[in-house]
Copies of this chain bind each other. A is one copy, B any other.
Amino acid sequence: MSDLLNKHVLLAMIFSVGFTFSAWSQTDETPSRDALMLESIYKETLSNAKAYDWLRFLSLQIGGRLSGSVEAEQAIEYTKTILNDLGLDRVYLQPVMVPKWVRGAPEYAYYETAPGLSTTVPITALGGSVATPSMGIKAKVVEVKSIEQLEKLGRRTIEGKIVFFNRPMDPQIIQTFQAYGGCVDQRYSGALEAAKYGAVGVIVRSMNLRKDDFPHTGSMSYGDSPINSRIPAAAISTNGADLLSATLRLNTDTEFYFKQNCRAFPEVKSYNVIGEIRGTVYPEEIMVVGGHLDSWDLGDGAHDDGAGVVQSIEVLRTLKAIGYKPKRTMRAVLFMNEENGLRGAREYASEAESLGEKHIFALESDSGGFTPRGFQFDTSPENFERIHKWAALFYPYFTDRFELGGSGADVGPLKSQGAVLAGLRPDSQRYFDHHHSDHDTFDQVNKRELELGAAAMASLLYLMDTYGAEASN
């Protein structure tokens, strides 16, 4: 684009701003109080946000922070210090026991088309997997596209082999989280199911729409199957999966070797980190904005969910900076152990229950630090209809897609309190390029995109604070 286009763009802006204003002031000649408040929030965040600097430290100085790790403890200390420095009404740690699973020495894998002819491929142990025997596992491979296919193939075909789950994410689905939902059963239950037919190990195609060399980890479960029936499971990169599949088409006797050294330890004590601004009118009504402080151990967890953590803190910083005094109590909650246990979320909801706290609203950011497109709300259709009217206020910020739907894993347990739940919905196209892999790194987060998310969250919190979370308020 040259400067010549620029004249067109300027014209466009004039038109566009006119069009925009009409969306939220069709009757008024001047912007509404709410429109002015959103403008003030966005200006503050886009000019003075600290979120990106906090994320830089969390990502580059601390790094991946799996539950129970030293890094997770460092992240607790660091974010508590930030919250303290904001001068909130209350900052505290909420103890919670979390699982501790450790990857150990890096995984190693190759396939062998003939003795001595081998090609290494990038793999990573799935979270919660058992290790291979110390000498590794070497076996022939059965490629399948689904768990259902296991039954058709039966024990005679599968026994003694490594099952290779290779159903890719569907590129025709626009929202990538939906494509992820259509594949993740292979990762979560593949080992449990394959073991029933005598498989000795499981290799799963990474949940990634891109063709690259990053294997993507993520949680898996053995259910309550006996310890000695549990087989090791690893993810293979998408390029690796395509290579392996092509090789198997040429030679079905191809042998695959892998070795992994992961191990589960006894549970350890960890914490949710919480910062609070006390409400001036209805202090007993609590509104939560949050993300999860733990991440997988690969990469540095900048998108998943460093972004949500720093955005949540930024919401409080921004509202304080513009001098906003909430009527209701606002809390930034940095949940521990979302990735492999959800213990922090359960503990938070359970303690809220036993303290008799009343949560009216909980908003999570856990879909990456990309340009926000809108929010999803988990509430009644009637209440959603009311909330949906606010969408027009977000039109100037390109964040006006409000939908009924899900929210976030960490705020989920608050549903039983009757809270309205919501999730920030950023652009989803690049999320799974990074998710749970070495490619989830700070340099992949854009400062403005991150800040636009924080400003949108602060704006929604302001509206909920002003009008209450339910239609009856």
Contacts and interface: CB of A to CB of B under 8 A. Distances in A.
Contact of A407 (B8, B16, B378): B8
Interface string A10-41: 11110110010000000000000000000000
A218 interface: yes
Interface string A338-368: 1110100000000000000000000000110
Interface in A386-425: 396-398, 401, 403-409, 412, 423
A398 B399 CA distance: 11
A407 B251 CA distance: 54
B409 A46 contact: no
A405 B449 contact: no
Contacts of A6: 177, 180-181, 184
A9 B406 contact: yes
Contacts of A406: 5, 7-12
Given A43-B172, A430-B446, A8 B403 contact: no
| Number of chain A interface residues as a range | 35 or more
A140 interface: no
A218 B305 CA distance: 37
A168 to B, nearest CB: 11
A2 B342 contact: yes
A426 B439 CA distance: 24
A5 to B, nearest CB: 4
A102 interface: no
Contacts of A449: 429-430
B2 A219 contact: yes
Contacts of A433: 446
A230 interface: no
A145 interface: no
A140 to B, nearest CB: 29
A469 to B, nearest CB: 18
A149 interface: no
Contacts of A447: 210
A210 B42 CA distance: 18
Given A1-B177, A6-B180, A8-B408, 4 more contacts: A1-B366, A2-B339, A6-B177, A9-B406
